[in-house]
Structure formats: structure tokens, C-alpha cells
Structure 1
Amino acid sequence: MALTMSQIMTLLTEHDLLIERQIAKNQPTKFDHVTYDSRKVEPQTLFFCKGNFEPQYLNQAKQKGATAYVAEKKYAQVTGMTEFIVTNVQQAMALLGAAFYDFPQNKLFITGITGTKGKTTTAYFAHGIQAAHTKGHAALFSTIDRIVGPKPKQRFKSDLTTPESLDLFHDMAEAVDSGMTHLIMEVSSQAFKKNRVYGLTYDLGIFLNISPDHIGNNEHPTFEDYLYCKEQLLRNSKNVLINAESQHFTEIYGAAQGSLMDDHIYLYARENSLISFETQVDFEFKETKQDLTESTIVISTYSDKGRQLAIDGEYELDIPGDYNQENAVAAIVSAAMTGAISAEIKKHLPEVRVPGRMEVFHVPGHGTVYVDYAHNYASLKSLLSFLRQQIPNERLLVLTGSTGDKGVSRRSGLGQAINEEADVAILTSDDPATEDPLKIAEEIDQHIDHDKVDVQIILDRKTAVKQTIKQSCPDELVVLAGKGRDATQKNNGKVIPYETDVKIVEDLSKER
């Protein structure tokens, strides 16, 4: 892997990013390494100055062997390096990163998935089927973890839903080198907002849904900006699959039509759903079985292009929740578009397990416990509403918190969902970061009617998990929301080990 001066100049010029190039006395002809982290610099590195950048990082990079840098401004205090001054360093980094790793995206069938809720479940459904279909040659980039190859060390925890562009293309290249032919990846709104996927084209883009989230000072200033960033997946895909029941469907569909002909746009919806447009969907599905542990759906096709995929029929999934049926349909269609046949899909879909998503535990003498990553109004409301339908006359207990330093708008949404569906709420810590977890809990609590819901605040999460379960009775349901299998807590600038909600529940279920 290497990047030549000629490649850099061509890419930056073609994309109208280059403002100025200043050549050092000993101009490098090629670069053997690329990074934005001064701690990872090696000799002959092209260094990217991004984000809240401090000049001392560039000095550190030079001392370790960096010979050139890409930035949006000159750093006069650092001399003796070739300079590429660009209009947008994130866009430049994505383009040059792809070139350095020899454009691995061109060697993979890439399915990109976006939506306010359901991305991870859909990604796991799709990966499970495609991995079986390709005999293990499907990679996964998800919120939970990344799979870049068949070896145990090639499966690791994700730091971001969509990583920085250099990390993204590095992992794609490793996937290609490991024999992967397919990639399923979640694509966050921040990935487009911060140009992490600039220049990347998806073979299939899936748009699940949209509702207010990630609105705040450090994320999206408005919902309109959030929606616009989500829509970029549709504008950068060869084919798209859209949930026609999504809010703001007219804008979403319009974004797809602005880039693609109708024969590359696929729509799906639940049978007899109230859809506010006249266009016929390609696929409809209906539920034929549903309980607290699994469900069955039937898919019917209504267009010529849809019939070519030959996916009509009944499918079982081993994860409960009517909202997960929508995720399953998206995964089924996407798998068929990669060549999987209906019989394969029907066989492998029930085998899929999603870590931390609707994991069910039975604690002797207490209620049934569900561990789920639900962390905003849309996801928590869907989860609680489904469970409420299953036990209309029993108590529903919910434990949740909200992250600090981002997603402030989620707090009111969590309180609203609890207020609409729960009987008992235990508010606790969930990665408070630099914020006071008590303040976060109180902000959620402001949106809960105490005449309807019994609210308790227990900030130590392990204690809160135990007490929530212990106060439940048989036939009641307990939801532990937010962290799933996350094994850390972010608190006061530190990442602290955490047993995980799942481990605490498992240990409690063994107590006598």
C-alpha cells in the first residue's frame, strides 16, 4: 500500500479540493503510511490535520517521520514538510484513504443501512444470511462490532457506528485481503455530516425510518439537517430499498428519485398500512405469528422487478417484536439482491442472534427480562409498546438512562416513551461522560407523570439492574434499556469497565 504524489494531486484537483501545495526541500515521491493520529506516525507518513487540531500534534508527527500534511490551513510554526492545503480535510482524507488502500470498496458488494432505529438488527440479519450464502465471505461494520475476516482477532468492538474514513478503508482492505466479497455496514448520519464516507458508492442503500434524534450542539443543529444527512445514502447508492411507512417518506422518496431511475428503487411496507402516497410498493409483509420470543411473517411481491428476486413466502425469525419484522424484510430483500435464494434465507434467518438486542432471560421467582440497546424515543417506544400488547394486565418495569454530552433531545423522548407504556421506571447511568448522571436522570424524569408511573433513581447501574429485577414478580416484564452488552461506562472522561447488563442478569438468575 502506498500513495504517490501524482495520485494525491490528481484526486485533490479532480474534486476541486486543493487550494495550495507547498513543496518541501526534500519532497517525498510517495507515502508508505497515512494517519490522522500523531501517535501512529511512521517514516514516510502523510498526516491529516483534522478536527480540533493543535499544532503540537503536527510537530509530534514530523518528529516521528511524517513528511507531508493535509490541512485546511497552513501551520507556519512547523517547517520542512510538504503542505497540501485543502478546502475540506475530511473529504480529502476519505478520497486519499481510499486510494492508499487501493480502493477496496470496488472489490466488495456493499450494503449500507441507515435509519433512526433498527440499523444494527437489520445489519445482523443481513450479515447472518449473506455470510451463510457466501460461505463466510461477508464482512460486517456495525455499532456493536466489526467483522473483517474469519479469524477470532478479526472480530472486535466498534468505537463508532461508522468509523473515520482512514479506519473504514483500512478495515475494508483487510476484509478484501481476508477473502471477503460482501460487506454490510451501518451508515450513521454523522458519517455523512463529517464526510467519513465521502466518495463512497454503495451497491445497495437501505433506508429504514427517520424520527428526531442526534439533535444538539455537537451533532445536528436541526431535524432538517439530520434528515438531509440520512438521505445522502440514497444519493450515493446504485440501488435503494426504502421502508414506505417511514415518516417524511415524500422527502425520502424524492431524494432517491433525484439520483435513480424507478427500476433501481424498491419499496416495502406492512400489509394494510396507512401510506400517504399512490405509488405501489414492491413488497408487502404480514405477521402470521407473534409471541414474546419469536414471530413469523409472510412476504408478497407486487412488481415485476420485485418478482425477479423470488422471495414470496413465509419466514421465521427468532427475535420478537413487530418492529423487528420490518428489519427482517429489509434484510431478506437485501440478501436476495446479493444472490441468496429464498430457501437459504428461510433456513438461516432464524439462526441470527443480535448481541444485546431483545435478549430474553428468565429469572426464577421474578419477571422475564429483556436486554436491549433501545436508547431513544423511537426504539424504546416500539419495544415497550410491543411488550405492553403481550401483557396488558401485568406490570412493565423499565430501567434506562441517557448518554452525556450528546443526544440531549433523547432525554425527553425516553421520558415520553416511559410515560406512555411503563408502570415502573428506574432511571440510572448510561455513559454520562462529563455530565452529572443525576442531572440527566432528572431531565428524563421531568417528562414522566408520577401519578401514572412509579419512578426511582438509582445511579449505580449494577445496583439498579439488580433492584429492578428483584422488585418484579412472575408474569411481569422487565426491560433493561440502553447498554445491551456494552462492557464499559464512560464517566468523567474515563472509560470504566462494566460487567454488562447481560452478565448481571445471568449472575442474578443463578442465585438461590
Structure 2
Amino acid sequence: MDLSHLMKGIEMFKVEGGLTSEVSSLCYNSKNCHENSLFVAISGLKSDGHDYIPEAIARGARFIVHEKEFSWGQILNLSPTVTAIKVADSRRALGMLAKNFYRHPSSHLLLIGVTGTNGKTTVTYLLEAIFRAAGFSVGVLGTVNYRFKGKVLAASNTTPESFEMQRILREMVNDGVTHAVVEVSSHAVDLKRADDCAFDLGIFTNLSPEHLDYHKTMENYFQAKKRFFEEVLPAGGKEHRMIVNIDDPWGQRLLKEVAMASLTFGMENECDVTVEEFNLSLEGIKATIRTDEAVFTVSSPLLGRFNLYNILAATAGAVSLHIPERCIRSGIESFKNVPGRLEAIGKSGQPRVFVDYAHTSDALKKVLENLSELKKGKIITVFGCGGDRDRGKRPLMGEVATTFSDLAVLTSDNPRTEDPLVIIREIEMGIHADSIRRYLPDDLDKDIPEKGYLVIPDRRTAIEKAISLAGNSDIILIAGKGHEDYQVIGDQRFPFDDREVVREVINRLWTDQHRMENSKSPLAPLSQRGDGGIFRNPRFPILAGHEILKATGGTLIRGSADRMFHGVSTDSRDMSEGNLFVPLKGERFDGHDFLGVAVRGGAVGLLVQRDAVDNADNEEFKDIAVIRVDDTLRALGDIAHLWRKRFHAPVIAITGSSGKTTTKEMTAHIAGLTRKVIKTEGNFNNLIGLPLTIFQINDQHEVVILEMGTNTPGEIGRLTRIAAPDIGLITNIGPAHLDGLGSLDAIREEKGDLFQNMAGEGIAIINRDDGEVGVLDGRWQGRRITFGMSRDADVSAGNIITRREQGVIFTLKIGGIGQEITMATVGLHNIYNALAAAAVCHVLGMEHHIICRGLTTFKPLSGRMEVHRLRNGAFLIDDTYNANPASVREALKTLKDLKEGHESTVIMADMLELGERVEEMHEGIGSLMAQTGVGAIFLRGRFSWAVAEGAIRGGMPINRILLPEISEEIVTRLKSSLKKGDWVLVKGSRKMRMEEVVQEIIRVFGLQPNTSGR
């Protein structure tokens, strides 16, 4: 098309070059330009097209339309044949250029524009059905899609950009479409996308708070809507009319301020189209509609009063266009539903689940008010708020959802570049805490005792929980996303369709006629689920690039600082979409060798060390954010500290030479009786594992329990600074990890770094009976709680009675209040562990009887003084988890107490990491075996000779000391000597794999029924 024809009607302020050339295409994205294209440089909300003029020219564009000044000489250097045209408004010019390029397609269509906050989509679907019933060929442009003549195009915006609008309207005309219906958003009016379309009719549905992040005020929002009727409709040059909801206050104002032929609809005020009577039910709408020309009855499967308003709007539009009453009725009754607009999911006998697009407080209120009129049971609402959108509506939606629902489940919507937890907290600000109860997910099984809400950030888990709580007379509303089949996290779209999730879950949890047989909820408690629910979410933590940069002191060498990361992984084989990959360097591996694997697995960010930058400097990472730091391991801890500080749940740090894990598990068991707990799992107690544990913390957690291990000076201090604990516990201090720490004094100082690095307002838990801990106590200036056997300890034990393999009975005293309890664990050391756990839980404010119940119901951990009764009546103590001199001594003392005149055998392997004193300490253990009356010992490992030497010096006959090479040899000898009532203790460091010996003994001897672990 000739350039001069294209520019018709457009005021040109400056022209550089000629106007007589042929233009091959229009484009406003430089990537779409080719030879002889005309490129329109638009100043957008996020980027400026003027910055891409050189790229457009490089791709072949010969004509440039712009509104900003730029160097013409520079353009001539790029291409001497380019024509540049300056206009007042490039965006406005794009619409006019597109209209000219596509030969004014809207002039050949009957074009209807529907605008308003709510109802636009449903009204367009209804009009489409009415026009089809009248025999017209219809096209629709709207939120769900763009469709005509069997073609369905994905909708990039509710209202297409002006160029796409004209192009699609031209396709409609060419395909024989006669009537087109367009959803006209306020953004589209403000950005002039519809200015060059000739509309025949404009419909106003309503106005309520929405898009105020863009418009700032309701007045601005109204003015945008008003501009469509006041300017855009008349500019088309056709005979035009407006249809207005007279029951809406903004509609009443529109009628007063815009002088135009109009038709009104409503139910509460005198108007042109209304209802004489109606009935609303879960089966749909039945209404008698009155117009100036007819009275007729319609039945529709659509639900609720607001959909009756939509039916009236479409009817008024059709009446104004002289569509016969029979066609109006037929169209309304033939239309079933809009995808994602109160779309019903499920079958008879199941809860009524509705998926709806309501994402404003007003829309949500309207939906819930209408469902409240129809409900027979309870209403459960699942919803969230979109990120990077109007924040002012969040508390309003929280108030609406909790006011009109029996239970609201707050979850993620499209968080985009915001933290979903922050969005949820802003929603919570609108909830009336005095009358609305905040539940934890595991608080609710089948019943909802009182009005309340849950927070479950993971949307799928939230939907599952809602469905699991519903009865077949209840209504579940899944609000906010409607027809969307994706979730926007960061700057990426991930597949997620509320409707598909609901179908999958409801079919799994419900049969056709009744709920699956289960006296409890079909879902296990979230804290116990194998997949971890929201507590094992690989998409946590959620952090922005600029936060990572600030926390680590790193440098951004590629990508954007606004990039959102959803989850942190140190394993390239275990990546999820959106993760930040932190490659670590070990003695035998370097994670930087697997950067490509991580990116292909879904990583959108890399945190690399300065000496590994070259590995990330290639084309594969062009869309990846790359942050450079001095030390990735240290940076991992810095990021974990950043995440930990987002939460207010008390953090407990537990360290010590022995008993750490058992004390941690006891503490978690007690606290878990009334609170949501997250704790260190397995051996995640080091500089890698502790940060990875912290990354799993979320808003649901009420107590965080972190175990801290060490074998290197400075490790406890660093772990403490990462975790920032509120409560610190050192169980005891003894000779463990001497190989890395050197001496008992060094161990004490290393463990003492916990107290040294805690905040002054923290609380220290002090073992009164441990002299080394006592040295540290003297240095601690903050609050403290003591435990021990001494009566003046804050938490103490008295009246101890051992029950052999069945455990112990003792009186637990806390603050002078005593209660007798029975524990299933054996050994004095486990009473100390129990006292330490009780002290922590006392600081947490837990009641005495809850602490006692927790200790009474605690079960011994596998491999930690776990007693098995063999079929021949002998007892086997599995203490194979680990070994150091202190824990071996405690195990031998316990063995002496338990055997009560029977024979005892010890099967022991090396204690590792004991440094220069390793031989001396093994000799000492051998001597103690002889002193405590051990009848025979089987020894394995490099230092067996040292244990044997100590045992001989202690008086043990040499023929009672055996050094078998394999487990089978041990078992063979035991078979000839082990009798009823005898005891066997198996002990050794973790790396010695002594659990294999335990397994072989159990295999050969067998266990008495129901006795393993008591």
C-alpha cells in the first residue's frame, strides 16, 4: 500500500525522506519487521519502541513513525533510504495506520462494544448466541478468546491492540461475518486501541473498584469508561446508541453526562428492559422479561442475580437492534455457560464446585451473594490475588471472602514477580480477626466448627483441601482465574487450569453417589503427606534477583535484577521450573560443571563463583539471570538467612556432642502436638543442609527446629548467624570430632559459638550437670533456662525407676510442678534428652501436661538405643546411628543397668574423627567395657587392637575378645552363647555400617511379635 494513502488522516509534524513508496507491512514490534515494513515506535508501559528503531531498520524496515526526537544522521548511517515521520502520538497513529492498511473493516460490520467492570464476557457470549439464533454470522473479541467462523485465536488482551484489532476485523469481513461483539476494557480505551473502530452500539454493565493500580482513582476509571461513549462511539460516524445499567450508580451518572440515544435495563429502577418475576436456583434462572415491545419468559442454566443482569443487558442490546423476541429467547436458552464464569464442575451427589473469574472485591461479593441465596449447606471459597496488580483490593477481597463464606482458603493466584506470601498477608489485613478464626490446615478434618479461613499458598493443595472438607450439600467456589489454563510465576507461565485440577481431585476423592469410605478426611495431614504438600515445595523460597544481590553482595553479570526465583536447588538433577541453581564445589565434584543441565531442567538463574564465570558465558544462558559471588556455599547461607528473617515463628537451634538428634526429635514431637513444626531431617545439619531446611519454611510453620553439627572450627558460628535462632540448646560437650577440632577445649569453644552468635534477646537452654557447658553459661549474659538432675534446675527429673527394656519412669519437674511420666526410651542419657526437650517446649509456652504427654508418647528412634527382643528371649540394642566416646560410655552404662545379672555382649566398630587421641580413646572404651562387666566383645575396624588392649588392661580375659571379619561370623558365635535374658549392644560410627550386623542378627534370630521398638 502506498505510504501517502496509509498516512491519510494522520497529522505529520516532520517528514524526513519521501512519501511515495510502497509499504509491505505494518509492525510495532521490531522483531516482526522485514523488507519495506513501516515500524511504529510506541512508548509502552515497560519498554520504549524508540529504543528498537535501529533493530527495525536492520531487519528491513524502511519507514519509521515516531513521536520522540532522535538522531536522523544516525538513522541515515544505518540506511540512507529510510523515511521518518514524526507524529504527536505514535499509539494513536498506529490505530489510524492499521485502519487504513486494512481498509476500515469495522465500517462493513455491525459492531457492538461491551464495557464495565463485571459481566462483559458473559454479555458477549449471550449476544453471540442471540445473533446466531437470528441467523447472523458472528465474531467475538474478548477475554476468553477471539473467535469467528470456526476459528479460535488465543486472546493476548481482553481488547486487542489497535493493529491486531483491525487485522482480525478484516479477517472477519473477508470470511463473511456480519455482526462482531467486542469486550472494551478501560485499558483499551485509555490506550486508544478501539479509537479507529466504527461502533453501532455500546453497552455499560457496571463499575466497581478494579484496575486502580493503573487508573489510581475511581473517577479516572469512570472517565476512561465514559470516554468510550462520549468520544469513541460518535467518532465512528455511524448511527449509534448506548445501553446502560440504570441500577448502577455510575450508570446513572453516565446517562446524565453523555447526551446520546439510550436504552436502559435493570431490576430496581424504572427502565426499558426489566423483569416482572424471576426464580433463582442451583439449576439456573427462570424469568419473565418485559421490554417496550414484548413480555416473554426465558429459562437459563446460568446462576445468580448478577447473571440475570447480564441477560437483561444482552436483551436490551438485541432489542435496540430490532432482533425478534423469539430469537432473543432462543439465544438465551441455548447458551449454557462461559468458560470459567461460575462454571460448574462435578456430578450429582458430589459437592457443587464452581470455577469463576471473579478477581475483584465487587465481583467476588456478587458471586458469593448469589451463591448464598442458593446454598443448602456451607460455602467454601478458594481465592488469591494477582501479583503486580492493584494492591488496594487485596484486603477488600479478604474481607468479602471471609464475610460471605463459611471457610475461605487463601492461596496463590498469578503471583507474577511478587512473593505469594506477601500477597496473602495483605489479603489477611482485611479479615476481621475478632470474629473470623484462622485455622491451620490440619485443624480441619470434615467439619468447619466456626467461620474461619486457612492459608495454603500452593493452589493445587488449597483446592484439594477445600474439596476434602465439603459435603454433598456444600458449595465450593474457586475464584480468580476462571478460564485461564496457566499460572504466572515470575515472568513465566506454567500450565495450571482450575477446572482440570478440580475434576482430577473430585473424581479421586468422591464416587458418583457418595464420598469415598473414610472416617477421616481423604487427605492425610499436610505435615504427614509423602509429597510434603506445601511443606516440601520445590518452588520455595520465592525471592527477587535484587534481593539475592543485596543478601550475597554478588554482581549481576547477565539478565535482570527483577527476575523472580521460585526455589533454590544445589542439585542439577533435581530442578523445578523457575529455580535458582547454586552450584557447590566439593573435593570430588564441582557443580559448575553442570550449569547447562540445571538450565535445561528449568533453572532461570545461576549463582556462580568468580572463578567459574567463563562456564556461564555462552549462548545457552542468554535468557538466564547470572549472579557472581566469591563463594557459592557462603552465598547459599546468606540467601537462607534472608528467607528465615521473613518469618516470625520461633527458631530453635540444637547442638552438642551427643543427643542432638534425639533431643530434636523429642522437641518436635512435643511441639507438634499443638503446633505446625518444621525440623531438620536426616543429616541436613551442616552448611548445606541447614539452608535447604530453612528454604522450606513458610507461613504455616509455628515452630522451626534446626539441628547443628560441626567438625570444623567456625561452623557452628556460621550456622547460628544463618539461622538467627531465638532459642539455643547445647545438649552436652564431650570428645567428638576431635579429628577436625583438635581438643576438648576447642570443642567447647566451637559449641559455645551458638550462644556467642545468638541475639541478646535470645534464650539459652543450659545443661546444669555438664561442666563444659557450665563454662559457657558463665559467659552468657541473656535469659537462660537450666535442666539437669539437680533440684534447683528449672527443669529436672526425680524418682527415676528403670523398667529394663520397657523404658523409664520419672517425675518431670518444671518450675516446681512435678508429674510422673513413663518413657519408652532406655538410659539416663535419654532422660537428659527429655529434660532438654521439655525445657525448650517450656520456653515455647507449652503447658506442663502437653509436654508430659509428648514425652510419654515419644517412640525411640531407629538406631539410637533401640531395643529389640529376639525370639530366643535375648535383647538386642541397636545404637548404630553413630558413635563417639561420650555416647559409647552412656550406652555401656545403660547396658550395665539393663542386664541385671544376665550376660552382655558388645559388638563395636571404630569411633571416627577423634584426631591424635584416637588410640587413647579407644583404649579407654575397652577398659570401661571390662569395668562395667561386659562378658564378651566383638571388634571391627582399624582401632580394634586399641579397644582390645584397653579391655585386657581392665581385666577382661583375652579369650572373650574376638575380631571377626564378617557379620556372619559374629552371628555364628552368638548362636552358641546367647541365651534368654542376655543383652547384645551394637555400636559404631556411621561410616562403619554396623546396622548391617543388626540386620543379620535379626534375620537369624528373629523378633518376638510386637516387641521391636516396644
Question: Which moved further from structure 2: 450-459 or 415-424?
Answer: 450-459
Aligned-partner residue type, residue 152 of structure 2: R
C-alpha displacement at 1:461, in angstroms? Answer: 1.2
C-alpha displacement at 1:38, in angstroms? Answer: 1.2
2:146 alignment partner, SS class: strand
C-alpha displacement at 1:366, in angstroms? Answer: 5.0
Give distance in 1, aligned partners of 2:222 and 2:277.
29
C-alpha displacement at 1:244, in angstroms? Answer: 0.2
> Which deviations, in whole Å up to 9, do the C-alpha atoms of 1:250-269 show, x marking residues without a partner?
42112321xx2xxx211111
CA contact (8 A) 1:138 1:182 kept: yes
Correspondent of 1:373 among 340, 347, 357: 357
- Corresponding position of 2:290: 300
CA contact (8 A) 1:363 1:509 kept: no
- Corresponding position of 2:145: 145
- Corresponding position of 2:4: 6
Give distance in 1, aligned partners of 2:392 and 2:283.
31
Question: Which moved further from structure 2: 483-492 or 138-147?
Answer: 483-492
C-alpha displacement at 1:375, in angstroms? Answer: 0.7
2:200 alignment partner, SS class: strand
> Which deviations, in whole Å up to 9, do the C-alpha atoms of 1:241-290 show, x marking residues without a partner?
00001123342112321xx2xxx2111111xx1x4xxxx52222244221
CA contact (8 A) 1:361 1:505 kept: yes
C-alpha displacement at 1:491, in angstroms? Answer: 0.9
1:78 alignment partner, SS class: helix
Closer, same or farther in 2 for the Cα pair 1:157/1:405, shift >3 Å? same
> Which deviations, in whole Å up to 9, do the C-alpha atoms of 1:65-106 show, x marking residues without a partner?
111111111331433421111111111111111111100010
CA contact (8 A) 1:375 1:410 kept: no
Q: Does 1:200 align with 2:197?
A: yes
Closer, same or farther in 2 for the Cα pair 1:62/1:162, shift >3 Å? same
1:156 alignment partner, SS class: strand
Correspondent of 2:346 among 359, 362, 379: 362
- Corresponding position of 1:220: 215
**Number of matched residues?**
477
1:388 alignment partner, SS class: helix
Counterparts of residues 154-303 of structure 1 (less than 5 Å): 154-216=151-213, 219-235=214-230, 236-237=232-233, 238-257=240-259, 260=260, 264-270=261-267, 273=268, 275=269, 280-301=270-291
Correspondent of 2:459 among 458, 461, 469: 461
Closer, same or farther in 2 for the Cα pair 1:122/1:251, shift >3 Å? same
C-alpha displacement at 1:194, in angstroms? Answer: 0.9
Correspondent of 1:65 among 19, 35, 60: 60
Correspondent of 2:314 among 323, 331, 335: 331
Aligned-partner residue type, residue 200 of structure 1: C
Closer, same or farther in 2 for the Cα pair 1:34/1:243, shift >3 Å? same
Give distance in 1, aligned partners of 2:8 and 2:344.
54
Question: Which moved further from structure 2: 412-421 or 367-376?
Answer: 412-421
CA contact (8 A) 1:138 1:181 kept: yes
Give distance in 2, aligned partners of 1:459 and 1:28.
60
Aligned-partner residue type, residue 486 of structure 1: E
Correspondent of 1:486 among 484, 487, 503: 484
Question: Which moved further from structure 2: 343-352 or 174-183?
Answer: 343-352
Q: Does 1:22 align with 2:20?
A: no
C-alpha displacement at 1:54, in angstroms? Answer: 5.2
2:14 alignment partner, SS class: strand
Correspondent of 1:434 among 417, 420, 428: 417
Closer, same or farther in 2 for the Cα pair 1:233/1:56, shift >3 Å? closer
C-alpha displacement at 1:294, in angstroms? Answer: 0.6
Give distance in 2, aligned partners of 1:399 and 1:9.
51
Give distance in 1, aligned partners of 2:468 and 2:323.
45
Closer, same or farther in 2 for the Cα pair 1:343/1:409, shift >3 Å? same
Closer, same or farther in 2 for the Cα pair 1:454/1:420, shift >3 Å? closer
CA contact (8 A) 1:489 1:495 kept: yes
Counterparts of residues 20-169 of structure 1 (less than 5 Å): 20-23=14-17, 29-50=21-42, 51=44, 52-53=47-48, 55-76=50-71, 77-79=74-76, 80=80, 81-135=82-136, 137-147=137-147, 149-151=148-150, 154-169=151-166
Give distance in 2, aligned partners of 1:21 and 1:319.
56
CA contact (8 A) 1:311 1:341 kept: no
C-alpha displacement at 1:425, in angstroms? Answer: 0.9
1:31 alignment partner, SS class: coil
> Which deviations, in whole Å up to 9, do the C-alpha atoms of 1:396-430 show, x marking residues without a partner?
11001111112223212211211321111111111
Aligned-partner residue type, residue 289 of structure 1: N
Aligned-partner residue type, residue 354 of structure 2: Y
> Which deviations, in whole Å up to 9, do the C-alpha atoms of 1:376-415 show, x marking residues without a partner?
0111101101111223x63211001111112223212211
Give distance in 2, aligned partners of 1:311 and 1:53.
54
Give distance in 2, aligned partners of 1:356 and 1:99.
36
Q: Does 1:350 align with 2:347?
A: no
CA contact (8 A) 2:263 2:316 kept: no
1:507 alignment partner, SS class: helix
Q: Does 1:449 align with 2:423?
A: no
C-alpha displacement at 1:335, in angstroms? Answer: 2.4
CA contact (8 A) 2:7 2:97 kept: no
Closer, same or farther in 2 for the Cα pair 1:360/1:433, shift >3 Å? same
Question: Which moved further from structure 2: 433-442 or 78-87?
Answer: 78-87
Give distance in 2, aligned partners of 1:221 and 1:387.
31
CA contact (8 A) 2:212 2:390 kept: yes
Counterparts of residues 385-396 of structure 1 (less than 5 Å): 385-391=369-375, 394-396=377-379
Give distance in 2, aligned partners of 1:341 and 1:400.
41
Closer, same or farther in 2 for the Cα pair 1:464/1:28, shift >3 Å? farther
Cα RMSD (Å): 1.8
Question: Which moved further from structure 2: 105-114 or 156-165?
Answer: 156-165
Closer, same or farther in 2 for the Cα pair 1:48/1:208, shift >3 Å? same
Give distance in 1, aligned partners of 2:104 and 2:247.
36
> Which deviations, in whole Å up to 9, do the C-alpha atoms of 1:139-162 show, x marking residues without a partner?
000111110x323xx202211111
Gaps of 5+ in 2: 234-239, 437-450, 512-1014
- Corresponding position of 1:304: none
Aligned-partner residue type, residue 207 of structure 1: F
Q: Does 1:313 align with 2:296?
A: yes
CA contact (8 A) 2:6 2:101 kept: no
Aligned-partner residue type, residue 53 of structure 2: L
CA contact (8 A) 1:293 1:360 kept: no
| TM-score where L is the length of structure 1 | 0.89
Aligned-partner residue type, residue 65 of structure 2: V
1:155 alignment partner, SS class: strand
Give distance in 2, aligned partners of 1:505 and 1:287.
35
C-alpha displacement at 1:503, in angstroms? Answer: 0.8
CA contact (8 A) 2:209 2:360 kept: no
Q: Which one scores higher on RCO, CA 8 angstroms, separation ≥ 6?
A: 1
- Corresponding position of 2:470: 472
CA contact (8 A) 2:145 2:154 kept: yes
CA contact (8 A) 2:111 2:179 kept: yes
Q: Name the % identity.
A: 27
Q: Does 1:501 align with 2:498?
A: yes
Give distance in 2, aligned partners of 1:287 and 1:410.
35
2:69 alignment partner, SS class: coil
Closer, same or farther in 2 for the Cα pair 1:134/1:417, shift >3 Å? same
2:176 alignment partner, SS class: coil
